Amino acid sequence: MKDTHSPFLRYIILLQPPFFSPCLTNNTNFSSKVVCYVMTRGDFTRVLGDLQDILDGKVQKRAVRASQIAQKQKVTYQLDQLEVMNVLGEGGFGKVKLVKAMDTGECYALKAQGKKFIIDNGQKNYCETELRLMKMLKHPNILMMHCAMQDSKYIYFLLDLLPGGELMHILELKGKLAEDWARFYSASVLVAFSEFHRHRIAYRDLKPENVVLDARGFGVVVDLGLAKQLEVR
């Protein structure tokens, strides 16, 4: 059947309760095929965003962004092809540094984890799982890994650069987030988790340090060091 709906109408049709509530009429001959849905302007904006944005096609631009990430090519480099710059962050298991590819000038993040630390702390399986899962996943709200390298002391993951800093940093700056900001970052995490669960992955390390913002301010879940993929039954 030909789809004649505008993108705007398609969005509305796709929405499910509880955002829409069936409007009951007094008509006793109410046909089971006709259901009238109502939605307040506030709920509409909360769920779909600004109507003018939708009409201007900005919603479609967001979809384009997701497809651009899906098409993004992974790069492969050796350590001596990368210029190490600043430290971007530090977690319990490793340091993440800003690096620049010498051939293209493109910047990436390089996560280094000490081999001795991994062995001494029984982290070998976790590190292998992190590598396997990150290689497999490609989603706009989950950190993308390009390639892995090693030298005698460290295992390295070359990662997409997320220049917006940790959500933790925003919480420290702002104290408490306004409700719409909180909803926005929660939505970023929620879509990342939907993707994890689609692959039967339990993430197991959700905290504001592990949500880092990309160049456009979207929340991206990083650090699959504790993630576990459940076996398919």
Ligand X SMILES: Nc1ncnc2c1ncn2[C@@H]1O[C@H](COP(=O)(O)OP(=O)(O)O)[C@@H](O)[C@H]1O
Positions touching Mg ion (CB under 5 A) are 91, 210, 223
Choose the one of Mg ion, ligand X, none that binds residue 170, judging by a C-beta under 5 to 8 angstroms depending on kind.
none
Is the Cβ of residue 141 or residue 210 nearer to Mg ion in the bound state? 210
CB 97 within 8 A of CB 109: yes
What's the CA gap between 85 and 103, in Å, rounded? 15
Of 93, 49, 211, the residue nearest 142 (C-alpha): 211
CB of 181 to Mg ion, least distance (A): 22
Closest CA to 58 of 8, 21, 116: 8
- Position 140 contacts ligand X (CB under 6 A): no
Residue 93's binding partner among Mg ion, ligand X, none (Cβ under 5 to 8 angstroms by kind) is ligand X
Contacts of 201 (CB under 8 A, 6+ apart): 133, 224, 227, 228, 229, 230
Residue 224 tokens read as 């699959």
Question: Does the active-site annotation cover 205?
Answer: yes
The residue whose Cβ lies closest to Mg ion is 91
Binding mask 156-185 for ligand X (x = CB under 6 A): ---xxxx---x-------------------
192 binds, among Mg ion, ligand X, none (CB under 5 to 8 A by kind): none
From 56, 120, 205, 214, active-site residue = 205
Which two structure tokens, joined as six digits, stand for 206?
A: 């959700």
Q: Write out 135-149 in H/E/C secondary structure.
A: HHCCECCECCEEEEE
User: Does 109 sit near ligand X (CB under 6 A)?
Assistant: yes
- Which listed residue (54, 77, 82, 89) binds ligand X by CB under 6 A? 89
Nearer to ligand X, 155 or 166 (CB): 166
Q: What CA–CA distance (Å, rounded) separates 30 from 59?
A: 35
* CB contact at 8 A, 196 and 188: no
Q: State yes or no: residue 91 binds ligand X (CB under 6 A).
A: yes
Helix, coil or strand: residue 196: helix
Tokens of 55: 């009409």
Which of 191, 213, 222, 227 binds ligand X (CB under 6 A)? It is 222
Contact window for ligand X (CB under 6 A) among 68-76, 84-92, 185-193, 196-204: 84-92
Whichever of 96 and 191 has its CB closer to Mg ion, that residue is 96
Structure tokens at 57: 């096609």
Which residues contribute to the site for ligand X (CB under 6 A)?
88-94, 96, 109, 111, 143, 159-162, 166, 209-210, 212, 222-223, 225
Residues taking part in catalysis: 205
